[in-house]
Chains A and B, each alone.
Chain A
């Protein structure tokens, strides 16, 4: 083919190439260099620490997912299935041993590549035991049974536990198991300096924090999971609900946390705002002090539970958006969920029978109450007082100022509680309160049941699914019917006010995820 180049054809080709290059550049810019907005969040509390192992309160968890990641992640749907995180895959070697293959090319926010050494450090004793090696960390209870972490190569670790652990994968996907940079920890020289700005692999890094004012993050563009969406994420601490809502309505914030149902209409009345959120992996309950002369009788405790119309409670106080679980368990427990377990009954007639059997004659039962530490707490208490009165129970509210007063001994009362599932299983949830080292037997001393403790201990090392289910059913029978330490009210909810143009999807936990992996934010 004989084709000559003319001036016109060269010009045309040049123009076409320029257009192509420009379009390509524009696409690249759109993909990687698009201008990013700031994300401004108003939340009620300041985080007590920013290291993942020390503590896990709500304020902390709202920041953690931006900065840290764990080896195994979870889907943020109701199943909360395990999914690859910083480990691409894992294999069981035996009931006590798990090998994990680490994702390659993952960088920490300090620029260092994540290796098996960082994993061994993060889950090892020096980090888990926390400041001064005192063991004053919440992660010790979760991962303290790990006795060895073997580094096979730079991207393979083998974790060995002291006893068989069917839930090790679940634990490695839980709060407190996030991987931190050993290099930065060593460089910091002290826990104090480390916790000022700890370093993880997440899509944002900590820039600054000011007590009771704010925590500021900036994007980490080398994040393995994609380009972070925001040029800056600022958590502003605004304890007053009215002030948070006003700041959202004034356009000064994009999202505010801790919105109770009585504010839903107020937020929805603004054309550019909406309410997001729903149930989370947390159960609200009322604790019984079984040392009390009245409450030591299980029939009284069962009667108190049977007297509560939970559906009415949720309808009237929570716009009917929160589910009532069938006993102290959630559907996300997977194989450990007893689906056919009976619903929590509302049966005032049976409750009256139980009171009569117990010889109850109107003795006072004290209800220690905080002023809305939990949303709708006081309203809920007032409703329940009336429900109890209807079956002849004499329950009197005693207002308290703080948890120290609520749990001040002797308690001889009932009080509210809320418990988050560290991982979706009875051992990651109810057991945190009812196990021998849990809050009721060990901290407040309100309840003991040796049979239950033995069943839980056996469950912790039982690998067979059917055997586990049988044990869990027996445990649920004890804490629901035979000897209840508490009565479940409903699943807790977390609700947010937000701008409609913020396409963020809340998850199933108290954590807020603003990374590129969020199903709302990763849409083009």
Chain B
């Protein structure tokens, strides 16, 4: 049953979230004292002790952990030490800002990656194939941090066409979206090419061609839908990569999204905010993978019937 299929995946997702929250809780506390990270090195000892007490950080770690889990179950994800507001509010206001980068970047991945991969597969070993795949390797190997700085130097510092950072306007989105989108498009192009080449060698494609079905129809109606399942899998993973990519890209472009919030919060050991972000990211990953599983069923009736069993 589809309900059972979804329920099992959701249950796995909840276990994943619990493990992730526990791991983050332990690592963040063991790897550094949040109070010393929050306060200046010059802060008097009395002020440090009072701060520690007021945030419950003077308690043993296991008591802090139990209190944290209890609070989560009551829907309380804690308060930001840096901001004073509820961590969930601080994180929630950054989500749309990050989506402003990740959604166009994902669209850019798909709009460039899939057609380029298809074209390369259909013109295997041609000059077009080689140019596209060389570009894909280049796009994949340039670190986003470096690509971002190069784009800024070219389009902001030298040409003054686009702003070097900040947020709020479409012009400010262009460079970070390109930086975030190029690497994923390159991966998708290579993956699409390989998936299509695998499918184009199948007997049903040869049969279709032999029966006189136009090549365009063979590709669109028969080959591509069969190649789409592995492509969909990689797109599911790419959503996670995009969110991870924002950590670097948002830093380069001073984009006030989840990525830059995560960096600043980890550095200052703003535990509630870090854990809230990780919960959101893990939740998004779990959800995207469940959606990909469901889309498999839509694309491939064999998988759907398998789920029914």
Contacts and interface: CB of A to CB of B under 8 A. Distances in A.
Contacts of A403: 32-33, 36-37, 41
B84 A404 contact: no
B84 A46 contact: no
Contact of B84 (A135, A192, A239): A192
B207 interface: no
B40 interface: yes
A243 B157 contact: no
A211 B251 contact: no
Interface stretch (B129-137, B163-171, B289-297): B163-171
Nearest to B81: A48
Contacts of A212: 256, 260-261, 264
Contact of B163 (A141, A250, A408): A250
B156 interface: yes
Contacts of B166: 236, 252
Contacts of A134: 50-51, 53-54
B267 interface: yes
Given A240-B251, A246-B157, A442-B45, A404 B165 contact: no
Interface string A190-208: 0010010000000000000
B84 A141 contact: no
B142 to A, nearest CB: 16
Interface string A426-449: 000000100001110011000000
Given A55-B40, A403-B33, A211 B82 contact: yes
Interface in B35-68: 35-48, 50-51, 53-54
A93 to B, nearest CB: 29
Contacts of A135: 46-47, 50
A140 interface: yes
Contact of B42 (A236, A238, A408, A432): A432
Q: Which of B44, B160, B164, B252 has the most CB of A within 10 A?
A: B44
Given A238-B254, A251-B160, A405 B45 contact: no
A210 B251 contact: no
Nearest to A45: B264
Interface in A194-247: 195, 210-213, 236-240, 242-243, 246-247
B202 interface: no
B24 interface: no
A250 B38 contact: no
Nearest to B256: A213
A136 interface: yes
A402 B37 contact: yes
Contacts, number: 142
A140 B44 contact: yes
B236 interface: no
A56 interface: yes
Given A250-B160, A252-B164, A442-B45, A243 B251 contact: yes
A402 B267 contact: yes
B31 interface: yes
Interface residues of B, number: 49
A407 interface: yes
A246 B151 CA distance: 11
B38 to A, nearest CB: 7
Contacts of B31: 401-402, 404-405
A486 to B, nearest CB: 13
Contacts of A249: 157
Contact of A252 (B42, B163, B261): B163
Contacts of A402: 31-33, 36-37, 267, 269
B50 A48 contact: no
B45 A443 contact: yes
Nearest to B152: A246
Contacts of B269: 402, 404
A446 to B, nearest CB: 13
Q: Which of B35, B80, B156, B269 has the most CB of A within 10 A?
A: B156
Q: Which of B31, B43, B251, B256 has the most CB of A within 10 A?
A: B43
B191 interface: no
Contacts of B165: 238, 243, 246-247, 252
B254 A404 contact: no
Contact of B149 (A136, A195, A242, A420): A242
A64 to B, nearest CB: 14
A252 to B, nearest CB: 6
A195 B84 CA distance: 10
A118 to B, nearest CB: 24
A417 interface: yes
Contacts of B163: 250, 252
B284 to A, nearest CB: 21
Nearest to B97: A213
A440 B163 CA distance: 46
A401 B164 CA distance: 29
Contacts of A131: 54
Nearest to A193: B84
B108 to A, nearest CB: 22
Interface in B248-291: 251-254, 256, 260-261, 263-264, 267, 269
B90 interface: yes
B33 A439 contact: no
Contact of A243 (B45, B50, B90, B252): B252
Given A211-B82, A246-B164, A438-B44, 18 more contacts: A55-B39, A55-B40, A136-B46, A136-B51, A141-B47, A240-B251, A247-B156, A247-B254, A250-B156, A401-B32, A402-B36, A402-B269, A403-B41, A404-B269, A405-B32, A437-B46, A439-B41, A443-B48
**Closest 7 interchain pairs by CB?**
A404-B33, A404-B32, A136-B50, A402-B32, A442-B45, A403-B36, A57-B40
Interface of A: 46, 48, 55-57, 131-132, 134-138, 140-141, 192, 195, 210-213, 236-240, 242-243, 246-247, 249-252, 401-405, 407-408, 417-420, 432, 437-439, 442-443
Interface of B: 31-48, 50-51, 53-54, 80, 82-84, 90, 149, 152-153, 156-157, 160, 163-167, 251-254, 256, 260-261, 263-264, 267, 269
12 contacts: A137-B47, A141-B47, A243-B164, A246-B156, A246-B165, A250-B164, A251-B160, A252-B165, A403-B36, A404-B34, A404-B269, A417-B41
